[in-house]
Amino acid sequence: MAKTILAVDDSSSLRQMVAFSLKAAGYQVVEAVDGQDGLEKAKLQTVDLVLTDQNMPKMDGLTLIKSLRGLPGYQKTPILMLTTESSEDMKTKGRAAGANGWLVKPFDPQRLIEVVKKVIG
């Protein structure tokens, strides 16, 4: 069965591109437009991997990650931060919030798939 990925990004162009690329690689994708939406979608179903942007309205990526870690079924789900924030600080914060890794924007779809494959096969 195809693995499901929750992609959270407030930018519809990036989100669509991520979703398109992942679908092309054979994954199922659930899209969410901000952290809050992501959390709600996560509650509706479990997913195999979460990709989230950091800077979003309503709820940012770090808060989403922290909230997800408090949800049943999400303690161990791999979470990757997609972010243009390239500071060590942000990485430290991401790790503290419970993320498993990070991917710098901009990225090309190939690299995204490569990273996702590394994590969930």
Partner 1 sequence: MTIDISQFYKVFFDEAEELLAEKERLLLAVDIDSPDPEDLNAIFRTAHSIKGGASTFGLNDMSEVTHVLESLLDRIRKGEMALTGQHVDAFLAAKDILKMQLDGHRNGADVDQEAVANVRMMLHDLSEGVIVPTHQPTVPSFLHAEQKQQVTEGAHRYKIELLDLAKRDVDALVDELGLLGRVSVVPLAAGRTALIIMTHEGLDDIIAICSFVLDPNDLKIFEAPPLTPEQRAREAAERARIEDEQGYGFFDPADPVDAGAEEPPEDELGYGFFQPIEQIRREAGIVAEAPPPAPVRPEPLEITEVAAEKKAAKKSGEGSHAQGAESSSIRVSIEKVDQLINLVGELVITQAMIEQRSDGLDPMVHQRLLASVSQLTRNTRDLQEAVMSIRMMPMDFVFSRFPRMVRDLAGKLGKKVDFITNGAATELDKGLIERIVDPLTHLVRNSIDHGIELPAARVAAGKSESGRLFLSAAHQGGNIVIEVADDGGGLNRDRILAKAKQNGLPVSDNMSDADVWQLIFAPGFSTAEIVTDVSGRGVGMDVVKRNIQALGGTIDIRSARGFGTTILISLPLTLAILDGMSIRSGDEIYILPLGFVVESLQPARADVKEIHGQGRVVKVRGEYLPLIPLYQMFNIEPRITDPCEGILVILEAEGRKAALFVDELVGQQQVVVKNLEANYRKVAGISGATILGDGGVALILDVGALLRSSRQLSDESVIS
Binding residues for partner 1, rule: CB under 8 A, are 1, 4, 10-14, 16-17, 20-21, 24-25, 28, 30-33, 37, 41, 44-49, 53, 55-57, 73, 76-78, 80, 84, 86, 88, 91-92, 94-95, 99-111, 113, 115, 118-121
- DSSP run (H or E) holding 32: strand 28-32
* Cis peptide bond upstream of 78, omega within 30: no
In sequence order, which residues have a C-beta less than 8 Å from that of residue 1 and are 6 or more positions away? none
The residue (of 67 and 99) whose beta carbon lies closer to partner 1 is: 99
Q: How far is the CB of 26 from partner 1 (least distance, A)?
A: 10
Q: For residue 108, how many other CB atoms are within 10 A of its CB?
A: 10
The residue (of 21 and 67) whose beta carbon lies closer to partner 1 is: 21
